[in-house]
Structure 1
Amino acid sequence: MTEIGNFSSSTTIRVSGLVQGVGFRPFVWKLANELGIAGHVLNDGAGVKIEAHGFPEMLGVFAERLRTDRPALARVDGIEVVTGAERPRPDGFRILESRGGAVATGVVPDAATCPACLADIGNPSDRHHGYAFTNCTHCGPRLSILRHIPYDRASTSMSGFSMCASCRAEYEDPADRRFHAQPVACPDCGPRLWFEGTDGREAEGDPVTLAAQRLRAGDILAVKGLGGFQIAVDAGNEAAVRTLRQRKHRPDKPLALMARDLDQIRRYCRVSDEEADILASAAAPILLLRKAGPALAEGIAPGQDRLGVMLANTPLHHLLLARLTRPIVMTSGNLSENPQETQNAGARQHLAGLADGFLMHDREIVNRLDDSVLRLDRSGVSMLRRARGYAPASVRLAPDFERAPRVLAMGGELKSTFCLINGRDAVLSQHLGDLENAPTFADYKKTLRLYLDLYRFKPEVIAVDAHPQYLSSVYGEELAAEFGADLVRVQHHHAHLASCLAGRGWTFSGEQPVYGVILDGLGWGEDGTVWGGEILKGGLESFQRLGSFLPVPLPGGAAAVREPWRNLAAHLRTAFGPDYLGRLTGLYVAAALEEKNLALLERMMERALNAPPSSSAGRLFDAVAAMLGISFHHQSFEGQAAMALESLARPFVQDESGYPVDFMPSPMRFSFAPLWQELIADLHAGLERGRIAARFHLGLIQGLAEGLSRCGARPGDTVVLSGGVFQNAILKNGLTDRLNAMGFRVLTHETVPANDGGLALGQGVIAVARRVAVGS
């Protein structure tokens, strides 16, 4: 069909995915004009809707190029084309105002400053020169300022800033890269930046210059960033870093760094080309890099062989780092485990004893966002914390999820997130923290309510962890009653397995069962005991427990998580009986243990009083670390002992062989008695601690591989590696390599964390699979 007079072929095109706030409408406008197509484009709750008129062949090219030529920040999940009859051809192609409707589109994550805006900031002749809130459709805040969908200026915290004539001209010009960039602003009309002291008085002078001067002088500053306040200090000033740790009550946990550019990072770390691409991406995450070159302050990451580094990712950060010669510590603006501060008044109140000054602005942060944390391993990218730059971009599920009910999954207790499943889109929230902390739990509930409102989401099913006392589970029960939703309880380690499968596009219909090696700290088991070192077989709907680590008491319950020596005593008692101390004569660890109240510990374990049996893999790592004198008495953050043990082992893993692991049948259990026997012998022989740590890791790798075979896994089978212990790169890479060599197909986490930060996704897809199975 060809165009006849004022009539032409008409087509309605619906584009779904992450297509709002990324310059998609001006992209469509430019493409339509290039191809001679008339009509219009608009945003609505479902994504982008296009009415196109033109030659049939051009309409086909137009629809194809919507996918292939899309803007950099866009993600096109689907293009639906409905061909209509000949209709009068409109004049030209227009961009129409947004409309509401049922929400099916996604929210684009906040994006780091693009090269074009960075050039504007540095250009003295540009009106954005030196302006800390410069952005365009290719970069800048999204979720952090968004109140509801569709993503328009009125829906954001920029609604209170009226655009000047110059900004309005850019905003309304489809040919300009700032067309409908909702946070667009300049010094004449946008948010304002200032520096104030602890007395609350605004200081005279350029605020960024003042902040840089104070950092060079060794002061600690609170900086209002994109998703919350951050605490900054000179990374080369040992005394300032020590003071920061004292004031923040954070004695050991590694501190993140922010650098000006890649060249500056390369002065202190090894950076591969692929790592450089991750650092410079629009997400601009914290990336764990190997130390190299001159040392910064030792107190940044004590006992670690890697540094967590990110690039400056907002105009404010770029302006600040340009005035400094070294990277800066840039950590969350909070005290202890409290949520990151987002409001000026809250920062003044709660950070006054921590910071020596404040770099503030008056743009409201609607949604709190921590920095994302990644690591690049030999076996691929590991997402350790998913937040700024990645959330809330949906995880795209397999096609059979199109018929899924609306599911809200509540996540776990630690590293909490929640997840909304609507068809093939699983919207996993940003990292929210540990719910044992009351302010964090309050923020979790507030953020969940905001998401329900943002996406206009009424759940039909609510999935919770099987642990009856998790705060997320209790709150999930309340919400199920409120919404009249079905409540589904999901076993913790099954959720870890399903989380990895969902992230890798697994379906719940027709897939063969997989084997799962699930290693973490603690999770409520189906038998009422505490699990943590498991071999499972199953899929999204169900699972079997085929094997586990031999249960070992947790003397003191939660105290054993904080005090590794308790786990050491419990593991040695399990391996050798109550007279285990005789095997340690002459070793440092013997004297250290004898200073503890072992008699009380023995009574607890013998009588099973506050000493629940646990197959925890995390506690095994704690025990081995304590045996080597690492965090023997206490660890100040989760995983501290295990992280130090991994760093200690890394230089020796290529040169050593592993300790033996034994197996007990019916049901299959891993026994670590021979491992402990040889480890103790190596200590008596004076073997280097790093070599002992390497032998432990290698022994666990070979033991897990053998354990899988004993559980029936055969070459060609699929094996999933999940759980927080697989944040350990030696274990993840080593077991992946060994299983690949044995002929297995290995699946690891890529888009969501292997730790409890990915738990909600697993809960959600399990709930869907069960509901669909019951309904089919």
Structure 2
Amino acid sequence: MSERITQRIEVFGRVQGVGFRPYVHRTATALGLDGWVRNINGHVELTASGRSAALRDLVASLREHPPPLAAVRRIEVTDVPGDEAVVRSGFTVRTSRADPSAAPREIPPDAAICEACLRELFEPGDRRYRYPFINCTDCGPRATVIEDLPYDREHTTMRRFPLCSACAAEYTDAGDRRFHAEPLACAVCGPRLAWDDLTGEDALRAAVKTVEGGGTIAVKGLGGYQLVCDATDPVAVAELRRRKRRPAKPFAVMVRDLKAARRLARISAAAGDVLMSPQRPVVLLAAQSHLPEVHPGTHRVGLFLPTTGLHHLLLHELDRPLVVTSGNLADEPIATDDAEAHRTLGPVADGFLTHNRPIHARYDDSVVHIVGRTALVLRRARGYAPAPLSLPVPAALPLVGAGAQLKHTFTLVEDGRAHVGTHTGDLADAATYDAFHASYADLSRLTGIAPRAVAHDLHPGYLSTQWAHDRPFELRIPVQHHHAHVAAVAAEHGLTEPFVGVAYDGLGLGDDGTLWGGEILVADLTGYRRVGRFAHAPLPGGEAAVRHPARMALGYLHGLEPLGVPRPAPWLTRVFTDRLDEREVRMVRAMVERGINCPQASSTGRLFDAIAALLGLGDTVSYEGQAAVALESTAGSLRADALPWRLTRVEGLWVYDPAPTLTALLGGLAAGVPVAQLAAAFHTTVAEVTAALVGRAVAAGAPRTVCLGGGCFQNRRLLTDVGRLLRTRGLRVLTGNAVPVNDGGISFGQAAVASALLAKEG
């Protein structure tokens, strides 16, 4: 028999709140090892004694076959002297220990109900039959209930619910699926549903009756309140829109299972996998059965499956698709506090299905779309955040990426780990700004990261920039908006060498003080140079033009940067202007010609808005990107040749001049060419222009790796067409997968740039 040895093993990563200690206990016991395991702050520590081969097998199992929700980043093994060997007493789970010096710590995201718990939920003989808050070590609330680390029940909002004897027996039984499941509960000892004075099943029945009657209910979910109504009832959906002040933005729809999802949308194998994943995001899919009030202006519908036992019970009782949308008013953060929810959602909901488990941290639903066989995250929130991502260049000191203004996130960094905070929203809303403050304070405390440096946007008007300057950081690192976009893509893919960055979005402040948005950069993580752009056009009324695509169209028609090709002739522009208010046309034209409140922008997003308006797809919008969504939806899958386009050289940059494109588009309208064909042709045009701009850069010696970033690449057709054309040129094409290409990824890009700059400066 080989000699017994003892080793101390530390496991780092997402190893708390995922059943890791029970897994270690089972594995070590099966291998005949003695010792103990415990949580220590954000990682797991164990000491094991036995044959060397068994210890090797233990470490291999921890590294290669961890529990389903775990993510092992690193394992450190240290031999323990013989006089400290563990006695032959079996393997135990010890009480957790806090170590203030241990950082950073990893917070596990929430996980949707697992199949085992789902079976129990609907098994009449099970003691958790129809218990809405059922969970185990493989599923349930995590980030939304954790108040402190190490992850133990007394450090969560579940500390308010002492375990009954039956739950306590499961909690301490090493062979049970709920061994050390911290949110463990049952109907005897756990949270309870409430509807006014009703509780339990009576509360659920009241909520179901309200939805059946065409009403809207506010449901307390994992990371905040949700507003729920019958998705198949157009009157109910329209009334929810009116009350929520959300006239056009699509709603997410929750369905009972994949079979129900397939009745509403085309679902590929990749989409099915994401829908069924523990993250349970909203997945944007091609609609099969149109629900016009649910997703107006687009042929894509956002579907997701139930995340909790409560959602499953609602879907089981109602047996119909449900609108399940954020419990807030337009642009405000999702409500989490019960009193806050009743105050803000009282005018919206016809009743509240709530419970007495507090929500510690606010997490909205995540949003994903599928391109080919790849899932791309558009909103990184519940299920994904705040799990860290790797940075290719470790940070020399703790830092934070402050993010942008819209779709706000922040990113905390220590060493090579970047903890991207949950989606917050538009910081211009005071409540959202307060939510950012609270989320930052909470996540920095939980991870143990105290930033000494901050990376921020160049725009002085962004509240995130002002926040960065108002706090006592030792070092402030400004990062240009579009550099952050493409750096986020590069960093996610571990790229440290130079690349070509294509940054297409609405607006961002350039390093020359003008507004950018259609940029070709040659870059690495530490810097960039601009080699191409879209032509400038004025934004009549400044930010007001973003909400009025018709104004943007007039800006292009009357103020497009003169690059040698005439703008569309007046007789041709009347195809568009004759349907507008004559006084507004005169006013906007005068503003443009006199340069009054008309900042210039080289923006792809604003060009998309202008084209949508020219084609009659929306003169005004109620949410960011609405006109571009309508343009993409109108184009559909129709194939069309490109409209005329032209590149010209301006001050050392290759510039796309859209004047020929605009003239041809208006000519097509005048000739009666179908709007869908013109919309498709415009998409083809932008893809060809992009390939040509990148081609010019590569021909001049730029790298052959291309990173596509910016909100315009949420457009699946544009992303697919640009990627295909670039790949046919033999180029390597990357885009954001886990990190949103929109402004939700800016903070991660800022953090990546700041880390690389600090490393470069030594």
Q: Verify same fold: TM over 0.5.
A: yes
* Match among 670, 689, 695 for residue 675 of structure 2: 689
Which residue number in structure 2 is paired with residue 83 of structure 1?
79
* Match among 592, 608, 618 for residue 595 of structure 2: 608
Q: Is the Cα contact below 8 Å between 2:558 and 2:592 reproduced in 1?
A: no
Which residue number in structure 1 is paired with residue 448 of structure 2?
456
After superposition, what is the alpha-carbon deviation per residue over 1:387-419, rounded to whole angstroms, capped at 9, x for unaligned? 001000101223x41x63111111000000000
Go from structure 1 to structure 2 and tell me whether the alpha carbon gap of 1:112 and 1:743 turns closer, same or farther (over 3 Å shift).
same
Go from structure 1 to structure 2 and tell me whether the alpha carbon gap of 1:291 and 1:46 turns closer, same or farther (over 3 Å shift).
closer
1:610 positional shift: 1.2
Q: Is the Cα contact below 8 Å between 1:47 and 1:104 reproduced in 2?
A: no
* Match among 4, 7, 11 for residue 11 of structure 1: 7
Which of 577-586 and 437-446 deviates more? 577-586
Q: Given the alignment of the two structures, is residue 24 of structure 1 paired with residue 13 of structure 2, yes or no?
A: no
- CA distance in structure 2 between the aligned counterparts of 1:716 and 1:616, rounded to whole angstroms: 24
Which residue number in structure 2 is paired with residue 541 of structure 1?
526
Go from structure 1 to structure 2 and tell me whether the alpha carbon gap of 1:494 and 1:585 turns closer, same or farther (over 3 Å shift).
closer
1:722 positional shift: 0.2
Aligned to 1:534, what secondary structure does the other structure show?
strand
Go from structure 1 to structure 2 and tell me whether the alpha carbon gap of 1:44 and 1:203 turns closer, same or farther (over 3 Å shift).
closer
1:662 positional shift: 3.2
1:550 positional shift: 1.1
Aligned to 2:579, what secondary structure does the other structure show?
helix
- CA distance in structure 1 between the aligned counterparts of 2:460 and 2:290, rounded to whole angstroms: 47
* Number of equivalenced pairs: 753
1:338 positional shift: 1.1
One-letter amino acid of the structure 2 residue matched with residue 536 of structure 1: L
Aligned to 2:461, what secondary structure does the other structure show?
coil
1:596 positional shift: 4.2
- CA distance in structure 1 between the aligned counterparts of 2:295 and 2:630, rounded to whole angstroms: 10
One-letter amino acid of the structure 1 residue matched with residue 687 of structure 2: I
1:2 positional shift: 2.5
Q: Is the Cα contact below 8 Å between 1:379 and 1:736 reproduced in 2?
A: no
Which residue number in structure 2 is paired with residue 120 of structure 1?
120
One-letter amino acid of the structure 2 residue matched with residue 719 of structure 1: V
Q: Is the Cα contact below 8 Å between 1:658 and 1:700 reproduced in 2?
A: no
Q: Given the alignment of the two structures, is residue 210 of structure 1 paired with residue 197 of structure 2, yes or no?
A: no
Which of 170-179 and 560-569 deviates more? 170-179
- CA distance in structure 2 between the aligned counterparts of 1:367 and 1:679, rounded to whole angstroms: 49
* Match among 246, 250, 267 for residue 250 of structure 1: 246
1:656 positional shift: 3.8
- CA distance in structure 1 between the aligned counterparts of 2:225 and 2:118, rounded to whole angstroms: 22
Q: Given the alignment of the two structures, is residue 643 of structure 1 paired with residue 626 of structure 2, yes or no?
A: no
Which residue number in structure 2 is paired with residue 740 of structure 1?
727
- CA distance in structure 2 between the aligned counterparts of 1:317 and 1:89, rounded to whole angstroms: 47
- CA distance in structure 1 between the aligned counterparts of 2:641 and 2:634, rounded to whole angstroms: 13
Q: Given the alignment of the two structures, is residue 190 of structure 1 paired with residue 182 of structure 2, yes or no?
A: no
Q: Given the alignment of the two structures, is residue 319 of structure 1 paired with residue 313 of structure 2, yes or no?
A: yes
- CA distance in structure 2 between the aligned counterparts of 1:36 and 1:29, rounded to whole angstroms: 11
Go from structure 1 to structure 2 and tell me whether the alpha carbon gap of 1:766 and 1:556 turns closer, same or farther (over 3 Å shift).
same
Which residue number in structure 2 is paired with residue 476 of structure 1?
468
One-letter amino acid of the structure 1 residue matched with residue 689 of structure 2: G
Which residue number in structure 2 is paired with residue 230 of structure 1?
226
1:382 positional shift: 1.7
Which residue number in structure 2 is paired with residue 769 of structure 1?
756
Q: Is the Cα contact below 8 Å between 1:581 and 1:590 reproduced in 2?
A: no
Q: Given the alignment of the two structures, is residue 496 of structure 1 paired with residue 485 of structure 2, yes or no?
A: yes
Which of 690-699 and 118-127 deviates more? 118-127
- CA distance in structure 1 between the aligned counterparts of 2:290 and 2:475, rounded to whole angstroms: 55
Which residue number in structure 1 is paired with residue 93 of structure 2?
95
* Match among 416, 431, 455 for residue 424 of structure 1: 416
Q: Given the alignment of the two structures, is residue 487 of structure 1 paired with residue 485 of structure 2, yes or no?
A: no
Could you state the TM-score of these two structures normalised by the residue count of structure 1?
0.95
1:586 positional shift: 6.0
Q: Is the Cα contact below 8 Å between 1:659 and 1:698 reproduced in 2?
A: no
* Match among 279, 282, 293 for residue 278 of structure 2: 282
* Match among 34, 37, 45 for residue 41 of structure 2: 45
- CA distance in structure 1 between the aligned counterparts of 2:381 and 2:49, rounded to whole angstroms: 41
- CA distance in structure 2 between the aligned counterparts of 1:474 and 1:333, rounded to whole angstroms: 28
1:325 positional shift: 2.2
Structure 1 residues not aligned, in runs of 5+: none
Which residue number in structure 2 is paired with residue 306 of structure 1?
300
Go from structure 1 to structure 2 and tell me whether the alpha carbon gap of 1:581 and 1:216 turns closer, same or farther (over 3 Å shift).
farther
1:203 positional shift: 7.4
Q: Is the Cα contact below 8 Å between 1:575 and 1:676 reproduced in 2?
A: no
After superposition, what is the alpha-carbon deviation per residue over 1:510-536, rounded to whole angstroms, capped at 9, x for unaligned? x2x100010000101100000100000
1:205 positional shift: 5.8
- Report matched runs for 1:115-194 at 5 Å: 115-194=115-194
- CA distance in structure 1 between the aligned counterparts of 2:52 and 2:206, rounded to whole angstroms: 61
Aligned to 1:771, what secondary structure does the other structure show?
helix
- CA distance in structure 2 between the aligned counterparts of 1:447 and 1:586, rounded to whole angstroms: 51
Which residue number in structure 1 is paired with residue 322 of structure 2?
328
Q: Is the Cα contact below 8 Å between 1:659 and 1:679 reproduced in 2?
A: no
1:711 positional shift: 2.4
Structure 2 residues not aligned, in runs of 5+: none
Which residue number in structure 2 is paired with residue 409 of structure 1?
401
Q: Is the Cα contact below 8 Å between 2:577 and 2:585 reproduced in 1?
A: no
Q: Given the alignment of the two structures, is residue 584 of structure 1 paired with residue 572 of structure 2, yes or no?
A: yes
Aligned to 1:443, what secondary structure does the other structure show?
helix
- Report matched runs for 1:511-530 at 5 Å: 511=497, 513-530=498-515
Give the % identical residues. Answer: 42
1:581 positional shift: 6.5
1:46 positional shift: 4.6
Aligned to 2:376, what secondary structure does the other structure show?
strand
Q: Is the Cα contact below 8 Å between 2:645 and 2:689 reproduced in 1?
A: yes
1:114 positional shift: 0.2
- CA distance in structure 1 between the aligned counterparts of 2:20 and 2:149, rounded to whole angstroms: 16
Which residue number in structure 2 is paired with residue 350 of structure 1?
344
Go from structure 1 to structure 2 and tell me whether the alpha carbon gap of 1:598 and 1:379 turns closer, same or farther (over 3 Å shift).
farther
1:762 positional shift: 0.6
Aligned to 1:365, what secondary structure does the other structure show?
coil
After superposition, what is the alpha-carbon deviation per residue over 1:432-460, rounded to whole angstroms, capped at 9, x for unaligned? 01001111111111111111211222112
Which of 205-214 and 489-498 deviates more? 205-214
Root-mean-square deviation (CA, aligned residues, Å) is 1.7
1:678 positional shift: 1.1
1:658 positional shift: 4.4
- CA distance in structure 1 between the aligned counterparts of 2:307 and 2:614, rounded to whole angstroms: 42
Could you state the TM-score of these two structures normalised by the residue count of structure 2?
0.96
Aligned to 2:553, what secondary structure does the other structure show?
helix
Go from structure 1 to structure 2 and tell me whether the alpha carbon gap of 1:576 and 1:610 turns closer, same or farther (over 3 Å shift).
closer
One-letter amino acid of the structure 2 residue matched with residue 2 of structure 1: S
One-letter amino acid of the structure 2 residue matched with residue 360 of structure 1: T
Which residue number in structure 2 is paired with residue 669 of structure 1?
655
After superposition, what is the alpha-carbon deviation per residue over 1:447-506, rounded to whole angstroms, capped at 9, x for unaligned? 111112112221121111111111011111122x2xx42111111011111111111122
1:68 positional shift: 1.6
Q: Is the Cα contact below 8 Å between 1:334 and 1:340 reproduced in 2?
A: yes
After superposition, what is the alpha-carbon deviation per residue over 1:560-612, rounded to whole angstroms, capped at 9, x for unaligned? 0000011101111245989856233662x221345242333233223332111
Aligned to 2:360, what secondary structure does the other structure show?
coil
Q: Is the Cα contact below 8 Å between 2:404 and 2:747 reproduced in 1?
A: yes
Aligned to 1:139, what secondary structure does the other structure show?
coil
Go from structure 1 to structure 2 and tell me whether the alpha carbon gap of 1:576 and 1:437 turns closer, same or farther (over 3 Å shift).
closer
* Match among 428, 432, 440 for residue 436 of structure 1: 428
- CA distance in structure 2 between the aligned counterparts of 1:210 and 1:11, rounded to whole angstroms: 57
Which of 46-55 and 639-648 deviates more? 46-55
1:12 positional shift: 1.2
- CA distance in structure 2 between the aligned counterparts of 1:424 and 1:36, rounded to whole angstroms: 36
- CA distance in structure 2 between the aligned counterparts of 1:14 and 1:751, rounded to whole angstroms: 27
- CA distance in structure 2 between the aligned counterparts of 1:463 and 1:204, rounded to whole angstroms: 48
- CA distance in structure 2 between the aligned counterparts of 1:759 and 1:748, rounded to whole angstroms: 14
- CA distance in structure 2 between the aligned counterparts of 1:329 and 1:287, rounded to whole angstroms: 14
Aligned to 2:532, what secondary structure does the other structure show?
strand
